[in-house]
Amino acid sequence: MDIVVSGIRPTGNLHLGNYFGALKSFVKMQEENHCYFFIADYHSLTTHPTPADLHGNVKTVLVEFLACGLDPEKATLYIQSDLPETAELYLLLNMNAYVGELERCTSFKEKIRTQPQNVNAGLLTYPTLMAADIIIHRAHKVPVGKDQEQHLEMTRTFANRFNRVYSVDYFPEPVAYNFGENLVKIPGLDGSLKMSKSDNENSSIFLADTPEVIRKKVMKAVTDSGPANPNNPRSQGVVNLFSLMSYFSSPDTLKHFEDSYQSGTIRYGDMKKQLAEDIILFTSPLREKIMMLAADEVYLKKVASMGAEKARASAAKTIREVREIIGFKPF
């Protein structure tokens, strides 16, 4: 059975992109692998959340993970900061991580560009913390999106370097979990290629959005003035609407709007109304679960402590062995 590790930063509610791009696959993965799914709250400190926001965001992700079907009995579902062993491994890996290689990381360069006022050491060493998260469980596989492939490559570098420095064959080399055809990208309502919470707030639909909010957002989705000639390339906004419809509406509905696009009779308003109702149909059961779970503090506490206990058993074993390899020996 493969050991799989993946985390999500607690930066707010999960949107449809997170669901189709990550959670849906996590739910499948937990059936066939030994999965560790964690809420990356140490990582989120690079953006300096207030204590109240930090806790609230962790709770939101925990609740939404559970609502989406992650099963705390099958997978190990935990909060990153419940595992101080990760912080210790991060410290140890940093001793053999070179500033030059960290500075060359694309995501770090991107942060320097977008937030020059907050280039902290946590951002620079993000890849070593991510490596620690993965190899603390000696994982074999990591489900990563395209944007995270470089981090996984660095994880392999740090794992291999540890093995080389200490002449051991201790850490496996983690590889990307192959999703095959399942890797999907949900587009934004604002004409962007990828739904993302950092875009304007109307671009993303969150699992917890009410039907009224969903209707409002979908009705505001970017389109164009209509198909002057159905053979001309479609604007990105219209491509996105059809793409969303392919996920949420029935094939008949999709065909109906494709046909009316081709015949030049399409009314985007009608298409959006239909899409909004189909999305609501999809998210409503999830939203109900989210509301129920959010009110059940006793259950959440039980899930978090059960996850922490299972994750710590694995992490403590790794740290014990790593300390011994490095040469920390008790007197």
Closest CA to 22 of 63, 65, 74: 65
CA–CA separation, 141 and 76 (whole Å): 15
216 in active site: no
Catalytic residue among 74, 194, 273, 289: 194
**Residue pair 40/7 in contact by the 8 Å Cβ criterion:** yes
146 in active site: no
Q: To the nearest whole angstrom, how small is the minimum distance from the Cβ of residue 15 to ligand AMP?
A: 7
**CB closer to ligand AMP out of 151 and 312:** 151
Residue 4, φ and ψ in degrees, nearest 5: -120, 135
CA separation (Å) from 221 to 12, 212, 249? 22, 15, 17
Q: To the nearest whole angstrom, how small is the minimum distance from the Cβ of residue 12 to ligand AMP?
A: 8
> Six-digit token pair at 274?
């239909």
**CB closer to ligand AMP out of 22 and 68:** 22
In SS3 terms, 127-141 reads as HHHHHHHHHCCCCCE
What DSSP assignment string belongs to 236-279?
HHHHHHHHHHHHHS-HHHHHHHHHHHHTT---HHHHHHHHHHHH
Residue of minimal Cβ distance to ligand AMP: 21
Q: To the nearest whole angstrom, how small is the minimum distance from the Cβ of residue 245 to ligand AMP?
A: 16
Q: To the nearest whole angstrom, how small is the minimum distance from the Cβ of residue 40 to ligand AMP?
A: 9
Residue type at position 153: E
Closest CA to 318 of 190, 152, 162, 185: 162
194 in active site: yes
Q: Give just the sign of the alpha carbon dihedral 39, 42, 47, 53.
A: positive
**CB closer to ligand AMP out of 164 and 185:** 185
Q: To the nearest whole angstrom, how small is the minimum distance from the Cβ of residue 111 to ligand AMP?
A: 14
**CB closer to ligand AMP out of 23 and 132:** 23
**CB closer to ligand AMP out of 56 and 84:** 56
> Six-digit token pair at 269?
């308003």
Q: To the nearest whole angstrom, how small is the minimum distance from the Cβ of residue 113 to ligand AMP?
A: 18
Residues binding ligand AMP (CB under 6 A): 8-9, 17-18, 20-22, 145, 184-186, 194-196
Closest CA to 22 of 126, 127, 146: 146
Catalytic residue among 59, 111, 217, 272: 111
**CB closer to ligand AMP out of 201 and 296:** 201
**Residue pair 147/113 in contact by the 8 Å Cβ criterion:** no
Q: Which sequence positions are flagged as catalytic?
A: 111, 194, 197
